[in-house]
Amino acid sequence: MTRTVLERCVDFAIGMLTFAGAHAIEVAMWRPWFGGEHDPWFLNAGSAAGFTLGCVFVASGVASMRSGSARPGRGVTLALGAFAAMAVVLFLKEGGPGTIFPIVLAVGGVFLLISSTLGAWIGREVRGAVKGR
Amino acid sequence: MKTWVAVVAVFLGAGAWAGHRSSIVVKAEQRERPVQIVPAGQKQVGSPGEKGATYYALEAQTTRLTTRFHDGHAAVTERGLVGNVRTTLRDSSGNERATMRLNRIDGGHDMVNYEPNDGAPFQAFSDPNLVKPTLDWATRQAYGLAKDGSDHLVWDAGTMRRRGAGRRDVESEIDSVETVWANGLVATLTRQTYSRRAVIPGRFVEGPALVSELTVHGAPAGTAVWFEKDQVFAYSLPVLMTGVVVIGPEHLKAKYGGWPFTPDTTWLNLQLIAAHHFKTLLAKQGTVARACEPPRPSRLAQFFLPTLNANEVGCDDFHWLDGSIVRACCDDHDRCYEKGGCDSSTWWQWWRSWTCDRCNIAVVGCFFARGSTDDRCLRRLGCAG
């Protein structure tokens, strides 16, 4: 397995685990932190959306900053992992997917992609700045 | 790498622990809601004077109601694809007097937009405890507002009227009603006067009557008559039944003490349509009810073929948008799904029917283009934008 493939697998796993972890925290703290209205799901409350996307952003930034290549599409792999976790959670959560689930998947995916690529880009820039010092 | 694994493990462990505790709290709170137990065998009956769920389910399939009044006014009320209602009222010369729109804004409330040609427009919340947004209600409301004025409004027996204006008996001012229903069924009601005659041996009727004539794709299919003085309802559907069905107050005395309500113009048309509809179903499939319970999918099957009724108010799994401009899109989509019998497993099944797909095309267009769905665009009737 080449280094790039391994790196992509790790990024994908980080994306999955980050989303799953963020969702687990949202389920746990849904009432005190996120208002408790509707089912626990990151797009059901603005604060939950911010929390999940923040987690993905930070995870992507840290992953990009810490190690590996400086390829521009790095955040995409992590976003794909987060998207996979999002899809699984959406279909398995209590009540099942709603009536507009394809739109939820598409919009959620775009948000995750933006958050992840932005995090990866900033992480890469920070890493470059630190190295160049 | 080891650092990452450790961080993720701590992250997930904390989430799982807190999730377990939170779910216990939520379940405890849910247990506190009291449940009203009804003893086995006790039948709950509604108020006999009020129209029930069957009436509203049938009424929901009316697409256009054209009402002509004695003074020459005519109101055309149409129901859009997503349940929105629009009334246009014209005077005897054909000049537009007013328009009224009803749009569902949440699970129970509708927004009423009234725009008269010679007065100030207004919008108001409907009262869900008083108003069922039927085409008939919209017609009578628009007519009443046009005739009496629309300033200083108060609710009175489910109708908005100007404070100080007397109650208007719109029913008595109606000359004719045309009800356009699904499947090419059209019922046209007129007022007539019958000379004395026997509808069945020994049962004589006469005097003013509401007469409804039914057509299916233009071909005559049946007749219903309400004899106002004798309180007798009679109907016949020559292709689907032999003879005439006659219901008088004597037939209802034992159970209701007579007619539990006074049949009106809209009811008569809908009753004839319903009789034709149900008798057609009986003739075709021997029943008008579902023969068996649908299978209950397992959790695994649920994963691949998820089902969910379109009854969650607002944007399903997108509730942070509930207060935004796209909220109306979600509600329209829910109504459209409910009407079409769709759920999340039928999101895209054009090879069976376009019913659900139309709802989805509308909601996607609504999300990306505008804050509301205009079904005229889908029906190619011309729309702006």
**Looking at this protein, which amino acid is placed at residue B252?**
L
Search chain B and give the residue with CA nearest A24.
B15
Chain A with chain B: Cβ pairs closer than 8 A? 117
Output the DSSP codes for chain A.
--HHHHHHHHHHHHHHHHHHHHHHHHHHTHHHHH---SSS-GGGSHHHHHHHHHHHHHHHHHHHHHSS---TTHHHHHHHHHHHHHHHHHHHSTT-S-TTHHHHHHHHHHHHHHHHHHHHHHHHHHHHHHHH-
As a whole number, the mean pLDDT across chain A is 85
The parts of chain B modelled with pLDDT lower than 70 are 1-31, 38-50, 255, 285-313, 323-325, 350, 369-385
Cβ-Cβ contacts under 8 Å, B1 against chain A? 10
In tens, the pLDDT along A7-57 reads 788 889 999 999 999 999 988 888 888 877 778 888 888 889 999 999 999
Cβ-Cβ contacts under 8 Å, B366 against chain A? none
* HEC per residue, B231-296: CEEEEECCCCCCCCEEECHHHHHHHHCCCCCCCCHHHHHHHHHHHHHHHHHHHHHCCCCCCCCCCC
Query: Following CA atoms B45, B47, B49, B54 in sequence, which dihedral angle do they give, to the nearest 10 degrees?
Result: -50
Whether this prediction's pTM lies above 0.95 is answered by no
**B153: phi then psi, degrees, rounded to nearest 5:** -85, 145
Of the partner residues B15, B21, B364, the one whose CB lies closest to the CB of residue A25: B15
Tokens representing residue B344 in the block? 């999340």
Q: Quote the CA–CA distance of A112 and A107 in Å, as a whole number.
A: 9
For residue B216, CA distances in Å to B52, B57, B182, B276 come to: 26, 20, 10, 10
B23 touches chain A (CB under 8 A): yes
**Looking at this protein, which amino acid is placed at residue B353?**
S
Cβ-Cβ contacts under 8 Å, B343 against chain A? 99
Mark yes or no for CB contact B8/A21 under 8 Å: yes
Q: ipTM score here?
A: 0.74
Mark yes or no for CB contact B319/A97 under 8 Å: no
Query: Which residue shows structure tokens 């011309």?
Result: B382
Helices (H), B65-161: 135-148
In tens, the pLDDT along B197-210 reads 888 777 888 899 99
Output the DSSP codes for B295-351.
PPPPHHHHHHS---BS--SSSTT-GGGTTSTTHHHHHHHHHHHHHHT-BGGGTT-TT
Tokens representing residue B84 in the block? 């929105």
B4 touches chain A (CB under 8 A): yes
pLDDT band of residue A111 (cuts 50, 70, 90) is very high
Please, what sign has the CA dihedral across residues A88, A92, A93, A98? positive
Q: Among B21, B303, B270, which Cα is nearest to A101's?
A: B303
Search chain A and give the residue with CA nearest B334.
A99
Q: What is the CA radius of gyration of chain B?
A: 26
Mark yes or no for CB contact A28/B17 under 8 Å: yes
Q: Quote the CA–CA distance of B361 and B113 in Å, as a whole number.
A: 26
Looking at residue B278, what is its pLDDT?
87
Search chain A and give the residue with CA nearest B364.
A103
Q: Where are the domains of chain B?
A: 62-171, 181-285, 299-378
Q: Quote the CA–CA distance of B338 and B82 in Å, as a whole number.
A: 10
Of the partner residues A28, A103, A107, the one whose CB lies closest to the CB of residue B15: A28
Mark yes or no for CB contact A97/B25 under 8 Å: no
CB atoms within 10 A of CB B117: 13
Of the partner residues B19, B302, B360, the one whose CB lies closest to the CB of residue A28: B19
Best A99, A101, A107, A110 member to test B by mutation, with max B CBs in 10 Å, is A99
Cβ-Cβ contacts under 8 Å, B333 against chain A? 99-100
Best B4, B12, B316, B342 member to test A by mutation, with max A CBs in 10 Å, is B316
Tokens representing residue A3 in the block? 């280094």
Mark yes or no for CB contact B344/A17 under 8 Å: no
Tokens representing residue B239 in the block? 């292709």
